[in-house]
Structure 1
Amino acid sequence: MSAQRHHGLTEQAADTAIDQACRMLRLPTIRGQFPDLAEAAKRDQMSYKGFLAELLLAECDDRARRRSERRIKAAAFPREKSLRAFDFDANPNVDAATINTLATCEWVRKGQPLCLIGDSGTGKSHLLIALGTEAAMKGYRVRYTLATKLVNELVEAADERLLTKTIARYGRVDLLCIDELGYMELDRRGAELLFQVLTEREEKNSVAIASNESFGGWTKTFSDPRLCTAIVDRLTFDAAIIETGTDSYRLAQTRARAGATAG
């Protein structure tokens, strides 16, 4: 059966038909950009196929952008951070080439861990969020959480007999970003539940953590030495480890800005 063709449409009727068709087919980008693209095609004497390709590519690009935005929103980052905004000059401990390699997200594809270790204010959370954002933009499902928030959620879920469901939800993401690990001691039950989340995730899934304590200092967070060793082993096996140092990244930025202003 051949498609019905509409001959002799006026310009106004054609515009109305295009608008209605885009609504029915859910093509909001083509609907919004069609007038400008049509004018550009006429001006550039574009072929019919070329014009159609421009329309479809515009729709595909915009859909990819919206999917990326939804994944970033679903990750629940507390604030927007990007690698472009990270001042590597303010923290020479962080190697730009290494971070740019991590930004390809090959480690996420392989299910490898990432550990960001350093004092408060050295840029760990910035890098954690920025690399998580890069992963979301590349199509991976990402989830961000504070270590204490995650443990409290797990304890509550266990009390309400929803632990299996909660762990499964975290297990479905491709990259779990855990921030502020080591800022406070976890009781034995909370530490065991956190370990359960880390060990019951699928092998292809990645975990990225930011901690203000070196691995040797994690005994302050996990009082059970055997559990501490098991968690360190889980997070460091085949991991990328970035040491952000001890000097304040934010303070260095402030000093640099003050120097630039004074100059």
Structure 2
Amino acid sequence: MSEQLREMCKSLRLAYVADIYDQTPYESSEQFLEAIFAEEFRLREEAKVQRLLKKAKFLDGKNLSDYEWHDQIRFPAHIDPGGLQSLSFIENRENVVLIGAPGTGKTHLATGLGRSACEHGYEVRFFRVAQLVEQLEHALRQEKLAAFRKRFEKVDLIVLDEMGYLPFGKEGSELLFQLISEWYEQKSLVITSNLEFSQWNRMFVDGRLTAALVDRLIHHAHVLSFTGESYRLSHALSRSH
């Protein structure tokens, strides 16, 4: 391709045409243009998904395709695995809360839902809850709390992993409560926790704040209970024999 044509592609913001035009079979002018533009669109979508996955900051590459649905996940009556994987809860600004013992597949499912959301064009952010609270407290000390909260304006789904693994101080609890209150009916959350709702006062200092937080989270929520033993423990024990 001539330099002039490359510059034209650049001006038209055709990021991939210059690289793929000589690999595209030519049968007719119309077929060639259709094929080359279709590939441009496909590569753009692929690049967008990669950008979304990078911005989400997942801790690993776990996804729904290798998730093992098991009979020890109790679904509410109004949703099943297919309904969850459809991601309709994001469009409806509903929450998904996954509660159960460590090692039962909650984080894998939460990450898989988040990655699938990215693949469908949604803006997603992944946090371990303790790290989010640390970032909130740091932003407050730096007088940058408003800017930190503004970063979520265009985010569709926030995955909050390990709610309840570490207790928070009064300041951290209040900051997290304020943030989740802002997201109420504006964003979707996927939350994993090893504690039943009745035990959440262990991590939040204020009982009234805990009740108000739980009320907001479960108002539009699909709550799944994970029972049984830890998969990680069972797998480790089976390998040791």
- In structure 2, stretches of 5+ residues that fail to align are none
Deviations 1:129-187 (CA, angstroms, capped at 9, x unpaired): 11011111111111111111111111111122221221222344111111110101111
Does residue 1:82 correspond to 2:63, yes or no?
yes
Q: Sequence identity, in percent? A: 31
* Larger RCO (alpha carbons 8 Å, 6+ apart): 2
Contact 1:171 1:200 in 2 (8 A): no
Contact 1:68 1:137 in 2 (8 A): yes
- Where do residues 21-100 of structure 1 align in structure 2 (5 Å cutoff)? 21-38=8-25, 41=26, 46-88=27-69, 91-94=70-73, 98-100=80-82
Residue of structure 2 equivalent to 1:211:
193
- The structure having more radius of gyration, on CA atoms, is 1
Q: Which amino acid aligns with 1:57?
A: A
Does residue 1:159 correspond to 2:146, yes or no?
no
Q: How many residues align?
A: 236
Take 1:171 and 1:242, find their aligned partners in 2: how far apart are those partners? 27
Deviations 1:170-215 (CA, angstroms, capped at 9, x unpaired): 3441111111101011112111110000011263311111111111
Deviations 1:206-231 (CA, angstroms, capped at 9, x unpaired): 11111111111112111321111111
Q: Which amino acid aligns with 1:92?
A: D
Take 1:63 and 1:50, find their aligned partners in 2: how far apart are those partners? 20
Does residue 1:104 correspond to 2:83, yes or no?
no
Q: Secondary structure at the match of 2:64?
A: coil
- The more displaced of 68-77 and 243-252 is 243-252
Take 1:139 and 1:28, find their aligned partners in 2: how far apart are those partners? 19
Relative distance call for 1:224 and 1:20 in structure 2 (3 A) is: closer
| CA shift for structure 1 position 114 | 1.0
Take 1:254 and 1:87, find their aligned partners in 2: how far apart are those partners? 17
Take 2:173 and 2:213, find their aligned partners in 1: how far apart are those partners? 9
| CA shift for structure 1 position 93 | 2.0
Take 1:172 and 1:127, find their aligned partners in 2: how far apart are those partners? 23
Take 2:206 and 2:11, find their aligned partners in 1: how far apart are those partners? 60
Deviations 1:5-56 (CA, angstroms, capped at 9, x unpaired): xxxxxxxxxx436556445544343222222213xx3xxxx33212211110
TM-score, length basis structure 2: 0.88
- In structure 1, stretches of 5+ residues that fail to align are 1-14
Does residue 1:237 correspond to 2:219, yes or no?
yes
Relative distance call for 1:179 and 1:197 in structure 2 (3 A) is: same
Take 1:65 and 1:94, find their aligned partners in 2: how far apart are those partners? 33
TM-score, length basis structure 1: 0.81
Take 1:31 and 1:124, find their aligned partners in 2: how far apart are those partners? 44
Contact 1:109 1:204 in 2 (8 A): no
Contact 2:184 2:217 in 1 (8 A): no
After TM superposition, the runs of 4+ consecutive aligned structure 1 residues lying more than 6 A away are: none
Contact 1:171 1:202 in 2 (8 A): no
Contact 2:184 2:216 in 1 (8 A): no
- Where do residues 130-169 of structure 1 align in structure 2 (5 Å cutoff)? 130-169=112-151
Residue of structure 2 equivalent to 1:6:
none
Contact 1:116 1:211 in 2 (8 A): yes
